[in-house]
Amino acid sequence: MEIERKFVADGVPEAIAQAAGRDLRQGYVAVDEQAEARVRADGDSHVLTIKGGHGLTRTEVELELDAGRFDALWALTEDRRVTKTRHRVDLADGLVAEVDVYSGALAGLVTAEVEFPDEAASAAFDPPAWLGREVTGDKRYANQRLAVDGRPA
């Protein structure tokens, strides 16, 4: 299970403006209202992730893939892809914000996700202003929706 809150920033936060990040390619093999199956390339790492549910708490299972299997699955994701650069920003209480700066068709969009050890920690979290507007549970900002529908209006 993962417990996370998601935010949309007004622009690239100063904390990461000059920092190097990790370039990610992410494509969706299957998406429906209950679950998603995606593949992600992060450098030489390739992962298949299955997620179930929406909102604050979701089921998540990850499986490592070799490059050949990734390539075979990647071919199935055409028209359901996102590219982004991910930055990690340390927050109070040992928390980390994963800040994604999108490119391609989603250029200009900046989101951040903060994962929590439990729901109590999530409820107690006071987000710094630079994280922007909270969109936890807003399906329009889920990566699979961004990959399929593009940037929300």
**Residues belonging to the active site:** 28
φ, ψ for residue 4, nearest 5 deg: -145, 155
127, two tokens: 């987000």
61, two tokens: 């299972």
